[in-house]
């Protein structure tokens, strides 16, 4: 599965099988996470077999069932966009390893989550992880024309492909609060007002880059 295929296959999954992550996949993921933590400067930690954060003993917590693994992101408030950008690389890599995921900002048990933050740092977000009971479901998206503005009459093919990948990007409450502007080969992506909109923006920018392939565009 390449990254474009992983983008299409990925949906948020909240109900997991009662099955630990296989040792080889866990090891692979650990290495991948270590690399992203080094590159981003964010503390990214994989917690395996830690059922408390999503409601041990309870059938569900929020809409979650059987979630026993998660990834925490600890950093500064201004790291949010980076957190989305690097976190989504982990989400897509997990998809390639046959795992399912869900970004989670709110619906976990805050008092039970395992993480380590120093002064000036906070728990930015969590990604739930495991083998899904299902692969999740496609959901509604805003139309492409609402998510981008193009200077000129022509929309290049590479930009359409990039925006199709953006439309599949997960966002908090599926809000899709961003706009991508194209002017020649320059692309600017801006958030609108919304919860966790900066994390959403980082995720969407990663999808844009994957969808754009080797098109020679510049972020401005
Ligand atoms: C930044 C962010 C925060 C999210 N927080 C939660 C959450 O607290 N609880 C939850 O069940 N889903 C959460 N989600 C998952 C979104 O609801 C989901 O990505 C969105 O509805 C789109 O669906 P999809 O991921 O299947 O494409 C979050 C997603 C993102 C990107």
d(CA 52, CA 61): 10
The encoded tokens of residue 85 equal 């950008």
CATH of the domain at 120: 3.40.109.10
> Is residue 116 exposed (0-12), middle (13-18) or buried (19+ Cβ within 10 Å)?
exposed
Domain for residue 135, yes or no?
Answer: no
Identify the DSSP state of 12: B
Residue at a domain's end among 130, 160, 176: 130
Dist. CA 13 → ligand 1 center (Å): 9
Instruction: Give residue 63's pLDDT.
Output: 85
Domain for residue 139, yes or no?
Answer: no
Q: Do 96 and 162 have their domain in common? A: no
Instruction: Give residue 18's pLDDT.
Output: 94
Q: Do 102 and 153 have their domain in common? A: no
Are 191 and 200 a contacting pair, CB within 8 Å?
Answer: yes
- Look-up of token digits 């024309």: 145
Domain for residue 114, yes or no?
Answer: yes
Residue at a domain's end among 99, 130, 161: 130
* CA-based radius of gyration for the chain: 17
Q: Do 114 and 180 have their domain in common? A: no
Domain for residue 138, yes or no?
Answer: no
Instruction: Give residue 110's pLDDT.
Output: 87
Domain for residue 137, yes or no?
Answer: no
Q: In which order are the strands placed within the sheet that holds 100-104?
A: 43-47, 69-75, 122-130, 100-104
Residue among 202, 9, 38 at smallest CA distance from 101: 9
Q: Do 159 and 113 have their domain in common? A: no
- Full domain range(s) for residue 183: 144-213
Give the ligand 1 atom nearest the CA of 106: 8
Instruction: Give residue 55's pLDDT.
Output: 80
Nearest CA to ligand 1 atom 13: 104
CATH of the domain at 192: 3.40.109.30
Instruction: Give residue 59's pLDDT.
Output: 46
> Is residue 87 exposed (0-12), middle (13-18) or buried (19+ Cβ within 10 Å)?
buried
Number of domains composing the chain: 2
Cα of first residue to Cα of last residue in the chain, in angstroms, is: 31
Q: Do 97 and 205 have their domain in common? A: no
CA 199 to chain centre: 8
Q: Do 113 and 206 have their domain in common? A: no
Domain for residue 220, yes or no?
Answer: no
Instruction: Give residue 123's pLDDT.
Output: 97
Domain for residue 218, yes or no?
Answer: no
Are 167 and 142 a contacting pair, CB within 8 Å?
Answer: yes
Going residue by residue through the chain, which has 220 residues, state the pLDDT in tens, using 9 for 90 and above. Answer: 999 999 999 999 999 999 999 999 999 999 999 999 999 999 999 999 998 999 855 545 568 999 999 999 999 999 999 999 999 999 999 999 999 999 999 989 888 999 999 999 999 999 999 999 999 999 999 999 999 999 988 999 999 999 999 999 999 999 999 999 999 999 999 999 999 999 999 999 999 999 999 999 999 9
Residue in 81, 103, 197 to alter for ligand 1 test, most ligand atoms within 8 A of Cβ: 103
The encoded tokens of residue 134 equal 């299902």
Q: Residues with Cβ within 6 A of ligand 1?
A: 11-12, 14, 62-63, 102-107, 125, 136, 139, 170-174, 196, 199-200, 203
Nearest CA to ligand 1 atom 17: 173
């Amino acid at each position: 599965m390449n990254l474009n295929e992983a983008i299409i296959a990925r949906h948020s999954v909240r109900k997991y099988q009662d099955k630990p992550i296989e040792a080889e996949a866990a090891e692979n993921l650990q290495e991948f996470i270590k690399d992203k933590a080094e590159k981003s400067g964010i503390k990214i930690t994989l917690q395996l077999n830690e059922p408390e954060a999503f409601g041990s003993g309870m059938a569900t917590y929020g809409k979650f069932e059987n979630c026993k693994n998660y990834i925490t992101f600890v950093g500064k408030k201004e790291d949010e966009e980076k957190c989305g950008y690097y976190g989504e690389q982990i989400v897509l890599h997990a998809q390639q390893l046959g795992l399912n995921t869900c970004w989670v900002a709110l619906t976990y048990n805050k008092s039970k989550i395992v993480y380590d933050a120093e002064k000036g740092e906070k728990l930015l977000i969590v990604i739930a992880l495991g083998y899904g009971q299902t692969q999740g479901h496609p959901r509604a998206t805003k139309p492409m024309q609402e998510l981008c503005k193009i200077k000129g009459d022509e929309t290049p093919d590479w930009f359409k492909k990039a925006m199709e990948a953006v439309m599949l990007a997960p966002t908090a409450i599926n809000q899709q609060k961003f706009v991508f502007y194209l002017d020649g080969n320059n692309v600017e992506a801006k958030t609108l007002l919304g919860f966790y909109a900066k994390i959403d923006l980082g995720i969407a920018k990663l999808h844009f880059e994957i969808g754009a392939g080797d098109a020679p565009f510049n972020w401005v």
